[in-house]
């Protein structure tokens, strides 16, 4: 569903949306740290947010505002998460949203506010508000505007992440950020999706929840869940086309999977992406729990880094996932090579398998003959990851 030729157009691929990004001084490097995504009018909007009980004030604010199922704009700052800031942090988020609402001549409740970055400090409201008029003036629809916005939401990302999916007369565009503290429900990630299809919030809400569950919530970079995770979907209806639910849901899942893979490929310190395919579980939730437990294991992910086909570590992780498991039904393959069958090892040329694991590879796990299956995207655990995150942020 992804159109490679239009990949750079991101959130402005869908008609009815403008975007912009700039630097307002939050980041000492002078890099972009403030972005806007604005619809031509108030549009149906839904979101999925972190399940953390330490959710940041902007998340709590957006949850309340999206009970209406409608929004006009999103303002996003990077570099400071506005998390663990209490009532002052909530007041800061409201102040930023109010300033943008005044510039756009819309209601405060129609503006969403997102932040990402270091937990603890308060955002520089004055600097952000001072930058908003120029940013509104810079709003546009071309690929350069979309890329500026995608850069403005980056923290430890090394590259902006954008994607496009095309349907029958309608488009979905998206941008995302996140490279570390990624263990969804969801991760230290933000994703913004736009479509020009004709949809209302009631139709979009379950489709977005399902897409997130099968993509972003199956991504695990370091086992650490964050406080600010948000995925927001806005529908302008500008195409005039009402999509079929199954077609739109498939395209939405496809663009979310694309962005999730880009997050994994840019993960802090990682040298390879590993896809864990779990089959034969009682249901999809059980399969996901098993796969995420494997991806949570520092032992397993260290073995990934060393290209060590240590299937025993995988089996050990499966056994503590909190899901019923008959180890005599477990089969494991590294890069397509069977290393375990019926819960016991099988003869294998470990050097040959290790060579196959030297780059990106797939870990296949079968736990029985049930219908449940899940695909988890993770990375190896490297010394570079430890060094990167040992520094004070």
The residues annotated with a catalytic role in the active site are: 188
In this structure, the dihedral spanned by the alpha carbons of residues 21, 25, 31 and 35, taken in order and rounded to 10 degrees, is -20
Confirm if 58 and 79 have CB atoms less than 8 A apart: no
For residue 84, give every residue at least 6 positions away whose Cβ sits within 8 Å of its Cβ, in sequence order, or none. Answer: 54, 56, 119, 120, 227
Q: Bridge-partner residues for 173, per DSSP?
A: 164, 194
Q: Which residues contact 91 (CB under 8 A, 6 or more apart)?
A: none
State the number of CA atoms in the 13 A half-sphere of 318 facing the CB. 26
Cα Rg, the chain, nearest whole Å: 21
Half-sphere exposure in the Cβ direction for 4 (13 Å, CA) = 0
């Amino acid at each position: 569903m992804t159109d490679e030729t239009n990949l750079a157009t991101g959130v402005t691929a869908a008609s009815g949306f403008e975007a912009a990004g700039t630097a307002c001084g939050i980041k000492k490097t002078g890099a972009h740290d403030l972005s806007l995504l604005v619809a031509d009018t108030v549009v149906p909007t839904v979101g999925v947010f972190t399940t953390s009980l330490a959710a940041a004030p902007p998340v709590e604010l957006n949850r309340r505002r999206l009970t209406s199922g409608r929004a006009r704009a999103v303002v996003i700052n990077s570099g400071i998460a506005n998390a663990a800031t209490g009532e002052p942090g909530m007041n800061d988020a409201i102040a930023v949203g109010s300033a943008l609402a005044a510039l756009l001549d819309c209601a405060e409740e129609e503006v969403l506010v997102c932040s990402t970055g270091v937990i603890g400090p308060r955002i520089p409201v004055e600097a952000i508000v001072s930058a908003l008029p120029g940013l509104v003036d810079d709003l546009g629809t071309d690929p350069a505007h979309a890329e500026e916005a995608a850069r403005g939401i980056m923290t430890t990302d090394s590259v902006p992440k954008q994607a496009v999916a095309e349907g029958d007369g309608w488009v979905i565009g998206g941008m995302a950020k996140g490279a570390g503290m990624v263990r969804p429900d969801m991760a230290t990630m933000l994703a913004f999706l736009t479509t020009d299809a004709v949809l209302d919030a009631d139709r979009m809400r379950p489709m977005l929840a399902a897409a997130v569950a099968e993509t972003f919530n199956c991504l695990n970079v370091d086992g650490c869940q964050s406080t600010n995770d948000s995925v927001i979907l806005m529908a302008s209806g500008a195409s005039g086309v009402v999509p079929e639910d199954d077609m739109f849901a498939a395209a939405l899942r496809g663009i979310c999977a694309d962005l999730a893979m880009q997050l994994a490929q840019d993960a802090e310190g990682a040298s390879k992406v590993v896809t864990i395919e779990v089959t034969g579980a009682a249901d999809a939730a059980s399969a996901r729990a098993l796969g995420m437990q494997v991806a949570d294991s520092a032992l397993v992910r260290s073995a990934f880094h060393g290209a060590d086909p240590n299937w025993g570590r995988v089996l050990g992780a499966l056994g503590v996932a909190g899901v019923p498991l008959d180890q005599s039904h477990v089969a494991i393959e590294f890069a397509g090579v069977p290393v375990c069958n019926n819960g016991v090892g099988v003869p294998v040329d470990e050097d040959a398998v290790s060579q196959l694991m030297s780059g990106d590879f797939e870990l296949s796990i079968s736990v029985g003959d049930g219908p449940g299956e899940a695909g988890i995207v993770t990375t190896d655990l490297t010394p570079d990851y430890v060094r990167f995150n040992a520094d004070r942020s």
